[in-house]
Structure formats: structure tokens, C-alpha cells
A and B are shown apart, each in its own frame.
Chain A
Amino acid sequence: MTLVALAAAIERGDLSPREAVEDALDRIERRDAAYNSFITVRAEEALAEADALPAKTGPLHGVPIGVKDVIDVAGTLTTAASKVLADNVATADATVVMRLRRAGAVIVGKLNTHEFAWGASTTSEAFGPARNPWDTERICGGSSGGSGAAVAAGLVPGALGTDTAGSVRIPAALCGVTGIRPTTGRVPNRGVIPVSWTYDTVGPLARTAEDCALLLDVIAGPDPTDPSTTPSMAEPCLDGIERGVDGLRVGVVSHLLDDVPLDPRVGTAVEEAIGELASLGATVERVDARFLRRAEVVQQLVMLPEAAEAHLPWLRTRLADYGADVRARLLAGLLLPSSAPVTGQRARRALAHEARPLFERYDVLAAPEMPIVAPRIGEDPVEVGGERIAYRLSLIPFNSPWSCLGVPTVSVPCGLVGGLPVGLALTGRRLGEATVLRVAHAFQQATDWHERRPPDAV
């Protein structure tokens, strides 16, 4: 059942919040040993909170939700899947959790993540890998891999992840669910462990674009206590999601289909999905945007020093407790020249200026979300269109441009290759979440890829 359908069923009285939460906890208990998607399950707390809900709260009344384990839930561990924070109990709710609760949601647990949300495989040395429900020998992507797995397996109808360089979109694609990275600054980050202050954003993952729209409407908006939020008011996402794509202009980012390593079967699935948008009434054109490849290095120059700064107290005292990959990136950020983040931010502004005509001409840009389907756990390098490439490097061209520009991107399931999901990335203007979700919804109304389920999903 989708999140929207579950919320409607609870509203009709078909089941109570307690029953909805009990169902989710039962699914987690029976199935999650296979996926390792949860780090902490809040069984007793969630049931008590469901029982304590007033008769009417908000649009998520009684809906069980999981949140990535870098997002604080008061009284619950926030481990970031790291030895460094293995005993860290949050003292207050993150703003997004407060907003979920105000809307009636019940937080059933904390979801597995790549250590400190910095990596794309969710294979924490301390907490073990999250496993892809489509094939448990494969990764879920990351860093919000537990969020992707839990939604794909049907353990929860919706989850929150975070996205710095693709961490919502990548697991959405590899797990066959829908996930949106919102505009940087649209969703408050207070109470969320940072990777990179100027790139981080919280984003929802769920079965459908409609589900994500509902979740995003709940968690988005300025927070006067959080200077990372933009004061700009954006259009709500759920209202108007049915308006279709007729008359919209879709630019196909051609270099991401033609000029970078890509599994041709993934490319074919994405091309067919774009063809579907054309058949629904969108005007589709290929666009040369190779200048966006500069984002790949620009993001590294900014993100690495920002992360090193955020981690500096722990680097001084807990260096050996980090996993090898995250430790290496943090040290690289620490030891980059001081000119790196300034040059990076300057180049980032220039890139945004250069991208402006793209977003004036097109309502949405379309591209593959990932160049490959989910690799096996531990498989690195990976084979991409006949080349052997480091997994992390293979995905950067598809994700860094949109992170660097701070614009919204949704990944929607658009095919299966060898029985594994493929994601279509739809990117919009700054604060244009309503439009990208509207296009994603139109696609999902016309196709059934989002309804395909992993073999043992519940």
C-alpha cells in the first residue's frame, strides 16, 4: 500500500494508528534480518506514541515512517552508522522529525546509512551493509541505503534520507523506489549530522511521487531557528500534482546518455521513459550541457573541506574509529589547500550562471539517475558499459551537477535490467519541486515500474 493510500485508510477508520504501526513493526521484525535496513527499531516508543495520538492530527495521522540514522529523534540513538557515535543518544528532535510528528506520523526506527552519510554503498564497517531487497547480495546504494531498502521491501511506506551528492537519489534508483533531493535550503537541516553545509538536504523516499509530495509538503519550509533554510516560499507539491505534462518542455541531458560511461541497457530504459513523457504531451529536446561536468571537481573542492571542518573534533580524538573510506575522504578534506573551497564556491557560482539558460528554456531536465544497476556488495571497481571504473567515480557525473546547483531532482523507477531497477532522474528549477514531482507523477500514472516489487517484499 502506498503512503497516500495508507493515510487515507487510517483517515477512513479502516485501521487505527496503532494497527498501522503494529503492522510495520511486524514486517520489520519478520523481514529486516534479510535487509539490515534498520539500525534502531523504536517498537515500544512507536506503539506508545501511536496510542497517544489525538483523534485527528494531520495528513500523516498514524503513518509509520523510518528516518535515516543521521537525523535526531529525541531519546533515540543517532549513530550515523559509525563507531564514533555508537552511544550517541539525541536530546531533541530534528526539525523534520518535529514536523513529521506534528503531521501525525509515528517514527518506527532509524535507518542504516553509509557511515556519516558519506558514501554511496551503505556498507558500514560498524553496523554492516544494508542489503538490496531485489537481490540481497547487492548494495542498496547510499548513503540513504537503509531508507531505500525499507521502502522497497515494504517495511515502511515512507522514509527520510539525506542527500549531499546523490544520497537520496542513488538508493531510490537502485532499490526501485521514488526519492527526491529537494532544493538546497528548502528543508531544515537542524538536528541532522552534517556532511557538507552548502550541499546537504533532507529528502523523502517512498513508493510514488505522490507519496514524496505529501512527505515533502510536511517537512519543507523555512525554520527561523535554522539559517540553512531559504526564506523563499515555494509552491506546495501535492496540490496540482495531477496537472500532467502537456506543454512542459523536457531537456534530455545528452552527454549523460552519450559521452560518459553508461550501461547501454540502462540507457535504453531511460530513453524509453523519456519517450513516454513525449507521448504524454511534453516537448522533448536533447540538450548539450557538457559544461556541467565541471561540477564533478567543484563539488569535491567544497564538500571535502566542509566535511573535514564538521568532523574536526572527532578527527582529533576518534580517527581510528572511522571506516577506512570515510577517514580517507575526511583527511583529504583536511589537507586540501585553503584555496580549494573558495575556488570551488567561485566556480560553483559561475556554473550556476552558465546553467541559467537551461532552466529558462526547460521546465525539467531528464537523465539516467545512475549509470548501472546495483552492484554486488564489495564489487568495486564496477563494469560500466564495458569499462572498469571505481563505483564512486561512475556515479559522480550523474549526481554532482544537480547537487552543485542546489536544484531539485527526483529519481523514479523506469525499468528493470537483469531483474534490477533503473532510475530516471528529473531535475527542475530551484524551488521547482512541484514541477518535477508533477512530471514524475504523470509518468507513474502512465507506467507501472513503481508498482514492481522485489521478490520477497511484504
Chain B
Amino acid sequence: MEPESSLVPSLDELRALARAQGVEPTDADLEGVLGFLRTVLPSLRELEEATQRDVPPAGMYLPDPEAT
């Protein structure tokens, strides 16, 4: 597992990513996003490693019509 610091982008990287999509958040907005990412990115990485990559994602509108 990579250290958390290598998973989370910097404030400037987030700002550039937002600007590239035409959105201009404030520094306070981006600090909030960073806090969220610090929590969720390790979980995302764990899920990436735990999930078989040859399994297709669930359908667009239903998780799996046959499963439940």
C-alpha cells in the first residue's frame, strides 16, 4: 500500500483539475475536497485491489438485474 500522502493531490493540482473542467472553486472549497479525498482515496485503492478487474461494472441503471 502506498503512503496516504502519495495518493492525495496537492491544492494546486486540484485547482488545475477544476479549472480544466471550467470550474473555479475557492481555496476553502478545495481544502474541503482535500479532507474528503484523504478519507476516500485509501478506500478507493483498497477496493481497486480487492475487486477483480475482469468483472464488468454494474449496469447503468441497475446494480445487477439477476443478482437480487
Known: A197-B61, A335-B33. A340 touches B67 (CB 8 A): no
Chain B residues contacting A284 (CB-CB under 8 Å) are none
B48 to chain A: closest residue by CB: A343
A315 on the interface (CB 8 Å rule)? Answer: yes
Contact present for A349 and B55 (CB under 8 Å)? yes
Q: A327-341: which residues lie under 8 A (CB-CB) from chain B?
A: 327-328, 331-332, 334-337, 339-340
Contact present for A230 and B61 (CB under 8 Å)? yes
B6 on the interface (CB 8 Å rule)? Answer: no
Q: A389-405: which residues lie under 8 A (CB-CB) from chain B?
A: 404-405
Query: Quick one: CB contact mask for B44-61 with A, threshold 8 Å, 1 for yes?
Result: 100110111101111011
Q: How far is the CA of A84 from the CA of B32 in the complex (A)?
A: 21
B1 on the interface (CB 8 Å rule)? Answer: no
Contact present for A315 and B23 (CB under 8 Å)? yes
Smallest Cβ distance from A38 to chain B, in angstroms? 31
Interface residues on B, range: 35 or more
User: Per a CB cutoff under 8 Å, which of B18, B40, B48, B60 touches A331?
Assistant: B18
B43 to chain A: closest residue by CB: A297
Contact present for A328 and B67 (CB under 8 Å)? no
Number of interface residues of A (CB under 8 A): 48
User: Per a CB cutoff under 8 Å, which of B23, B32, B41, B56 touches A328?
Assistant: B32
Smallest Cβ distance from B15 to chain A, in angstroms? 10
Smallest Cβ distance from A401 to chain B, in angstroms? 11
Chain A residues contacting B47 (CB-CB under 8 Å) are 294, 297-298, 301, 343-344, 347
B32 to chain A: closest residue by CB: A328
User: Per a CB cutoff under 8 Å, which of B24, B61, B63 touches A351?
Assistant: B63
Q: How far is the CA of A359 from the CA of B32 in the complex (A)?
A: 39
User: Per a CB cutoff under 8 Å, which of B17, B40, B51, B57 touches A300?
Assistant: B40
Smallest Cβ distance from B34 to chain A, in angstroms? 9
A228 on the interface (CB 8 Å rule)? Answer: yes
Q: How far is the CA of A350 from the CA of B57 in the complex (A)?
A: 9
Contact present for A406 and B40 (CB under 8 Å)? no
Contact present for A312 and B21 (CB under 8 Å)? yes
Chain B residues contacting A359 (CB-CB under 8 Å) are 68
Contact present for A334 and B18 (CB under 8 Å)? yes
Known: A327-B29, A342-B57. A349 touches B63 (CB 8 A): yes
Known: A328-B32, A331-B25, A349-B58. A406 touches B51 (CB 8 A): no
Q: B1-48: which residues lie under 8 A (CB-CB) from chain A?
A: 9, 14, 17-18, 21-25, 29-30, 32-33, 36-37, 40-41, 43-44, 47-48
Chain A residues contacting B64 (CB-CB under 8 Å) are 348-349, 352-353
Smallest Cβ distance from A263 to chain B, in angstroms? 24
Contact present for B21 and A197 (CB under 8 Å)? no
User: Per a CB cutoff under 8 Å, which of B50, B57, B60 touches A197?
Assistant: B60
Contact present for A297 and B40 (CB under 8 Å)? yes
A361 on the interface (CB 8 Å rule)? Answer: no
B46 to chain A: closest residue by CB: A297
Contact present for A356 and B68 (CB under 8 Å)? yes
Chain B residues contacting A430 (CB-CB under 8 Å) are 62, 65, 67-68
User: Per a CB cutoff under 8 Å, which of A230, A331, A337, A348 touches B32?
Assistant: A331
Binding site for B on A (CB under 8 A): 184-185, 197-198, 227-228, 230, 232, 294, 297-298, 300-301, 312, 315-316, 319, 327-328, 331-332, 334-337, 339-340, 342-353, 355-356, 359, 404-407, 429-430
Binding site for A on B (CB under 8 A): 9, 14, 17-18, 21-25, 29-30, 32-33, 36-37, 40-41, 43-44, 47-48, 50-53, 55-58, 60-65, 67-68
3 A-B pairs with the lowest CB-CB distances in the bound complex, closest first? A345-B57, A352-B67, A352-B64
Q: Can you show 24 pairs from A to B with CB atoms below 8 A apart?
A: A198-B60, A230-B61, A230-B65, A297-B44, A300-B40, A301-B44, A312-B21, A315-B22, A319-B23, A319-B24, A328-B29, A334-B23, A335-B9, A337-B44, A345-B58, A347-B47, A349-B67, A352-B67, A355-B68, A406-B62, A406-B63, A406-B68, A407-B68, A430-B67
List 20 additional A-B contacts (Cβ < 8 Å) besides A301-B47, A334-B18, A346-B51: A184-B61, A198-B61, A228-B61, A312-B22, A312-B23, A319-B23, A319-B29, A327-B29, A331-B25, A332-B32, A332-B33, A332-B37, A334-B23, A339-B48, A344-B57, A345-B57, A349-B58, A350-B52, A352-B67, A405-B63
